[in-house]
């Protein structure tokens, strides 16, 4: 089976063939740069001769250990004759910028840690499978409980993946699911050798490896009767376990934790706070038991503590409880109480990776706490890699409002195209590149240039027409005006307007015969809008149309800023969205002679499904709201 090369086809460095290079560093990452240049057909400059390309680390006090802190030395300058890097990792990024045709100048990322979070399971979960919310086949790390890195082919695929991530500017990865089950908990102990093998491959490309852990691991693994973070026995257990991990993985990045969330254990069990739970793990990672590597460990291993905490057993009759409020209510009061090596990881919206949400207020409410914004490349709520949906425009808007660190849930698997839908590769690429280039359309151009080398202008035009506004198209034919969800429960694919309406999950739209939307105002609702430092969302007069139903319950006859009523907007956008997808399918058919036949066939099949699904969304949404409101479509189109 031939694996698609994604944005690193064999021709990536064709323009370097025959050039002579000089690398003024003996760091292992400089060795990776050397391997890449030799693969491209370059050769080292002979002693005493000039080089066509020079790679050097400035200042000259280079690091000689493979262990470097995340974000250390990532920036670089292209000089016109090579790369001057701030540190060893900058050599890697400078090389790949040359492949993009980068112009001389300064390059540095806006986010220090750019992490990909895998939701891969070791064992196949009876409900979620090998990869939770995965739509690209199985895991590249494990299959049916067996570690794939034990075989040469499996190891090669992991290394190839690391190379792809580095070329996109990624510098950190978490290898396993945040929902850590019994087998996965053993990655801390008797299976940590598997993590070490993975880390060896990622390290070659400057990527630091993290591990998702279960807060109750001391209990699950049978070592202790409690996981109370203030119990000295628990503290000692985590310190000793962390010391073993760092002994095996010198540049271990740290832990990712989902606690007190959707059934996962956490400090609430023992009457402790999230700060107390996170700080216990943070202390374990800096314990005297953990081997010290001096300045090379700066800033050292960290704890990513997810803020995705809410009551998933709420009473749907109770309109005072609001899932959107939960993260802020739990975490904002703890600002300043987290240890320096704790990073609170916050989903970009207050609910759960919907096509349209406001920025989570937590991201601007904790100035004394290290934060990471969490994005989702796997298309759980945006078409599950069966729909074309380029997410970078949404992410770019989010990233423009925050700083610090970022993490993105992976959309990769053992599929030959890596991401199921070949065009979904662009989302993985953007998950790294947006930290370096905030323009989502420019990033898409980069991906097209690399993935389809020497693409004719017609193909470039087709890809942009398909992808530039594909998220807006998806939004048109799914849940309207920011209300969210309306998906089938469990697997989250396809329409089911009332699927979650009477469940305990807190994802409601409250549609009745008079109107629709969630009242989150201070005056009459849940007061979620008051969590923001401004008052834009308090009144329909100032709330953006695209978020109206997220913040307000309004009559179907309410007139939007656009001049149309809510009900007519629902009809219009759903007809328009479904029609737009049909035109996307026709457009792709015209590209048959411009791309590889197998790739064309894969995308064509996905577009057929997208047309079917968009039509189903259109008909269910329009029929539902026509029957609720009793108001006909002003244009007399057929509604079932």
Neighbours of 259 (CB within 10 A): 25
Does residue 79 have a pLDDT over 70? yes
Q: How does pLDDT run across 106-123, given as a tens digit for each residue?
A: 999 999 999 999 999 999
- Give the DSSP letter string of 63-81: --SS---TTTT--EEE-SS
**Catalytic-residue membership of 380:** yes
Residue 20's domain spans which residues? 14-107
Q: Which helix (H) or strand (E) holds 373?
A: strand 370-376
Tokens read off for 636 = 């007399």
Cα separation, 323 vs 327, in Å, equals: 8
Same domain, 207 and 263: yes
**Catalytic-residue membership of 194:** no
Same domain, 241 and 187: yes
User: Which is catalytic among the residues 352, 357, 405, 572?
Assistant: 352
Domain membership of residue 453 (yes or no) is no
Helix (H, G, I), strand (E, B) or coil at 42: coil
State which of 107, 138, 154 marks the end of a domain.
Answer: 107
Q: How does pLDDT run across 147-200, given as a tens digit for each residue?
A: 999 999 999 999 999 999 999 999 999 999 999 999 999 999 999 999 999 999
Mean pLDDT: which of 39-48, 55-64, 179-188 is highest?
179-188
Does residue 204 have a pLDDT over 70? yes
**pLDDT value for 43:** 95
Q: How does pLDDT run across 590-626, given as a tens digit for each residue?
A: 999 999 999 999 999 999 999 999 999 999 999 999 9
Domain membership of residue 72 (yes or no) is yes
**pLDDT value for 222:** 87
User: Which is catalytic among the residues 251, 380, 446, 572?
Assistant: 380
Same domain, 118 and 48: no
Same domain, 168 and 293: yes
Same domain, 514 and 432: no
pLDDT, mean of residues 542-547: 98
Per the structure, the count of domains in the chain is: 3
Q: How does pLDDT run across 314-364, given as a tens digit for each residue?
A: 999 999 999 999 999 999 999 999 999 999 999 999 999 999 999 999 999
Sign of CA dihedral 309, 313, 316, 319: negative
Domain membership of residue 82 (yes or no) is yes
Q: Which helix (H) or strand (E) holds 606?
A: helix 597-629
| pLDDT band, very low/low/confident/very high, at 64 (cuts 50, 70, 90) | very low
Tokens read off for 633 = 């479509």
Cα separation, 379 vs 420, in Å, equals: 11
Say if CB 61 and CB 28 are below 8 A apart: no
**pLDDT value for 299:** 58
Same domain, 100 and 152: no
Domain membership of residue 362 (yes or no) is yes
**pLDDT value for 66:** 44
Same domain, 280 and 427: yes
State which of 412, 439, 466 marks the end of a domain.
Answer: 439
Same domain, 34 and 101: yes
Same domain, 166 and 309: yes
Domain membership of residue 444 (yes or no) is no
State which of 74, 90, 107 marks the end of a domain.
Answer: 107
User: Which is catalytic among the residues 35, 144, 153, 262?
Assistant: 262
Say if CB 258 and CB 212 are below 8 A apart: yes
The angle that helices 88-99 and 28-39 make with each other, rounded to 10 degrees, is 20
Residues 6+ apart with CB under 8 A from 626: 571, 632, 633, 639
| pLDDT band, very low/low/confident/very high, at 292 (cuts 50, 70, 90) | low
Helix (H, G, I), strand (E, B) or coil at 417: coil
Say which CATH number the domain at 126 has: 3.20.20.80
Domain membership of residue 43 (yes or no) is yes
Tokens read off for 285 = 């990672």
Tokens read off for 275 = 């700060």
Say which CATH number the domain at 564 has: 3.90.1330.10
Same domain, 77 and 136: no
Say which CATH number the domain at 100 has: 3.30.379
Say if CB 265 and CB 259 are below 8 A apart: yes
Same domain, 131 and 87: no
pLDDT, mean of residues 71-95: 94
Helix and strand counts by DSSP (H, E) for the chain: 17, 20
**Strand partners of residue 408:** 116, 375
Same domain, 186 and 81: no
**Catalytic-residue membership of 446:** no
Neighbours of 142 (CB within 10 A): 26
Domain membership of residue 527 (yes or no) is yes
Domain membership of residue 5 (yes or no) is no
Does residue 65 have a pLDDT over 50? no
């Amino acid at each position: 089976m031939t694996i698609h090369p994604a944005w690193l086809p064999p021709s990536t460095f064709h323009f370097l063939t025959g050039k002579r290079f000089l690398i003024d560093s003996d760091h292992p990452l400089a060795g990776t740069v050397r391997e890449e240049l030799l693969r491209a057909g370059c050769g080292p400059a002979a002693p005493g001769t000039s080089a066509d390309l020079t790679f050097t680390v400035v200042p000259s006090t280079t690091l000689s250990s493979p262990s470097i802190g995340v974000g250390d030395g990532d920036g670089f300058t292209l000089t016109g004759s090579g790369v001057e890097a701030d540190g060893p990792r900058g050599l890697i990024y400078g090389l790949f910028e040359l492949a993009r045709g980068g112009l001389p100048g300064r390059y540095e990322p806006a986010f220090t840690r750019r992490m990909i979070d895998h939701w891969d399971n070791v064992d196949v979960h009876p409900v979620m499978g090998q990869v939770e919310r995965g739509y690209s086949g199985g895991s590249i790390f494990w299959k049916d409980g067996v570690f794939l890195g034990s075989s040469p082919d499996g190891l090669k695929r992991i290394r190839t993946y690391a190379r792809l991530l580095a070329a996109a500017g990624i510098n950190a990865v978490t290898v396993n699911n945040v929902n850590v089950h019994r087998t996965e908990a053993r990655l801390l102990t008797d299976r940590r050798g598997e993590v070490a093998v993975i880390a060896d491959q990622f390290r070659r490309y400057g990527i630091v490896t993290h591990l998702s852990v279960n807060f109750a691991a001391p209990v699950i693994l049978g070592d202790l009767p409690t996981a109370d973070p203030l119990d000295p026995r628990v503290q000692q257990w985590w310190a000793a376990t962390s010391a073993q991990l760092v002994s095996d993985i010198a540049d271990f990045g740290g832990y990712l934790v989902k606690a007190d969330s959707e059934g996962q254990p956490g400090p609430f069990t023992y009457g402790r706070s999230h700060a107390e739970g996170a700080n216990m793990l943070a202390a374990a990672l800096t314990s005297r038991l953990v081997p010290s590597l001096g300045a090379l460990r700066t800033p050292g291993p960290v704890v990513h503590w997810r803020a995705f905490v809410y009551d998933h057993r709420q009473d749907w009759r109770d309109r005072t409880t609001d899932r959107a409020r939960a993260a802020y209510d739990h975490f904002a009061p703890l600002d300043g109480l987290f240890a320096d090596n704790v990073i609170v990881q916050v989903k970009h919206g207050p609910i759960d990776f919907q096509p349209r949400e406001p920025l989570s207020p937590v991201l601007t409410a904790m100035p004394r706490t290290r934060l990471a914004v969490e994005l989702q490349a796997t298309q759980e709520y945006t078409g599950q890699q069966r729909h074309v949906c380029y997410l970078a425009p949404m992410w770019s808007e989010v990233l423009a409002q925050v700083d610090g660190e970022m993490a993105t849930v992976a959309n990769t698997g053992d599929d030959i195209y890596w991401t199921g839908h070949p065009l979904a590769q662009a989302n993985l690429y953007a998950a790294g590149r947006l930290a370096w280039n905030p323009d989502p359309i420019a990033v898409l151009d980069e991906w097209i240039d690399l993935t389809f080398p020497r693409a004719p202008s017609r193909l470039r035009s087709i890809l942009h027409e398909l992808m530039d506004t594909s998220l807006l198209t998806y939004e048109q034919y799914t849940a309207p005006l920011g209300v969210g969800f309306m998906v089938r429960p469990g697997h989250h694919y396809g329409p089911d307007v009332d699927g979650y309406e009477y469940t305990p999950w807190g994802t409601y739209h409250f549609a009745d015969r008079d109107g629709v939307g969630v009242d989150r105002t201070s005056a009459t609702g849940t007061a979620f809008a008051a969590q923001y430092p401004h008052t834009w969302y308090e009144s329909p007069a100032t709330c953006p149309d695209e978020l109206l139903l997220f913040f307000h319950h309004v009559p179907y006859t309410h007139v939007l800023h656009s001049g149309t009523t809510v009900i007519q907007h629902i009809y219009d956008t759903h007809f328009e969205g479904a029609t737009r997808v049909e035109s996307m399918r026709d457009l792709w058919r015209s590209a048959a002679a411009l791309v590889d036949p197998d790739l064309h066939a894969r995308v064509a099949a996905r577009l057929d499904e997208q047309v079917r699904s968009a039509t189903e969304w259109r008909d269910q949404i329009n029929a539902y709201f026509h029957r609720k409101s009793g108001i006909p479509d002003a244009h007399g189109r057929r509604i079932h």
